[in-house]
Amino acid sequence: MTDSKDRITLRRPDDWHVHLRDGAMLEAVVPFTARQFGRAIVMPNLSPPVTSAASAAAYRERIMAAVPSGAGFTPLMTCYLTDDADADDIADGHANGIFTAAKLYPANATTNSAHGVTDVAHIMPVLERMQQIGMPLLVHGEVTDGDIDIFDREAVFIDRVLEKLVRDLPGLKIVFEHITTEQAVQFVDGAGASIAATITPHHLHINRNALFAGGIRPHAYCLPVAKREKHRLALRRAATSGSSKYFLGTDSAPHEIHAKESACGCAGIFNAPFALESYAAVFDEEGALDRLEGFASVHGPEFYGLPLNDARVTLERRDIAVDDSIESTGVTLVPFHAGAVLPWRITQS
């Protein structure tokens, strides 16, 4: 990384957690991710979900067709685990370079997770095989019990599910996705080298007050929901600590404006347009711009056992105004930071 006060150059970063969707939405959002990132771990929670190597290969083709030419972007595919996931199909898909990882959604925890896993015990043979072959497990870490307060669901997931999983399968690589609590940071810090976590830009910027700032704010709603300020600060410390256990995963999760601004609005924040700029603002505020490259471009590939990107990207300290909404391919989306100004921008090369 080369550095000055107003300009930094990093290895091209990767996004280790993104929702690209399908159809017109896919076409609308892929260019934003491809502009900034060399690779992205693509979430499989389509409807129906991506549960087989064949459907992942077909989805990868549809993504590639939507990537602007010359973008230099590679999607990395994931398998949506269900109670009857097949260890052989998943291992074959991994060996054939189709599946990079597999995703555990507790059933009904989040968007399109109805087919998710009802009890981790049901997929133990699959997880054992993944441990054997070194295939990472990506986890949406929230319990789904209605009697657990929504702000506690991540911490309770650690106690009830994750601790046991790590004990039972100590060699399984696990990415605790989009962490939102100081309990998650403590857990990851205290766990062995096989446990890592992604952190989103929005959980570094907002706490739960953002959901109710002057009225109800559907565009600040995502899962896991933003927590108290002390949790946001713990996430900032973790992301900027330099620890190789933490890396960039935007969890950019677009929903059309009418699905967000509704009596029952969908969970998900669309942060793809200025994700790297959003992280850069945080690292700058924390006096840690020298650690942005590790978080954005190095820790992720090292954990996944993939090569670092050779390309570079330069950010400069120059304001960029984020539009109130974005229209593309007939889809209207409200981006994270809508109407605000971010202090760093990617230079046009």
**Is residue 123 a contact partner of residue 81, using CB atoms and an 8 Å limit?**
yes
Cα–Cα distance, 231 to 15 (Å, whole number): 22
Q: Which of 14, 154, 251, 293 binds Zn ion (CB under 5 A)?
A: 251
H runs (alpha helix) in the chain: 23-36, 53-66, 87-95, 124-133, 153-157, 163-168, 182-190, 201-205, 229-239, 257-260, 275-285, 292-293, 299-304
Please report whether residue 140 would count as binding ligand NCD according to CB under 6 A.
Answer: yes
Q: Which is nearer to Zn ion, 162 or 315 (CB)?
A: 162
Task: Indicate which of ligand NCD, Zn ion, none lies near residue 260 (CB less than 5 to 8 Å, by partner kind).
Answer: none
The active-site residue, picked from 168, 251, 310, 324, is 251
Site for ligand NCD (CB under 6 A): how many residues?
11
Q: Which of 161, 222, 257, 296 binds ligand NCD (CB under 6 A)?
A: 222
In angstroms, the Cα distances linking 69 to 31, 35, 66 are 10, 11, 9
Q: Which of 87, 267, 340, 346 binds ligand NCD (CB under 6 A)?
A: 267
Q: Binding residue for ligand NCD (CB under 6 A) from 55, 82, 110, 297?
A: 110
State yes or no: is 251 an active-site residue.
Answer: yes
Q: 3-class SS at 321? A: strand
For ligand NCD, the binding residue among 220, 253, 289, 326 (CB under 6 A) is: 253
The one of ligand NCD, Zn ion, none whose footprint includes residue 14, by CB under 5 to 8 A per kind, is none
Among 348, 274, 275, smallest CA distance to 313 is for 348
* Residue 251 within binding range of ligand NCD, rule CB under 6 A: yes
Asked whether position 42 contacts ligand NCD by CB under 6 A, the answer is no
Distance CA 345, CA 333 (A): 21
- Residue 341 sits at φ, ψ, to 5 deg, of -120, 130
- Residue 295 amino acid letter: F
Whole-angstrom Cα distance, residue 177 to residue 172? 15
Per-position x/- string for 140-159, each x denoting binding to Zn ion as judged by CB under 5 A, each - no binding: x-------------------
Q: Which is nearer to ligand NCD, 72 or 218 (CB)?
A: 218
Comparing every residue's Cβ against Zn ion, the nearest one is 140
Which positions lie near Zn ion, rule CB under 5 A?
110, 140, 251
Residues at the site binding ligand NCD, with contacts judged by CB under 6 A: 19, 45, 110-111, 140, 222-223, 251, 253, 267-268
The set of catalytic residues is: 251
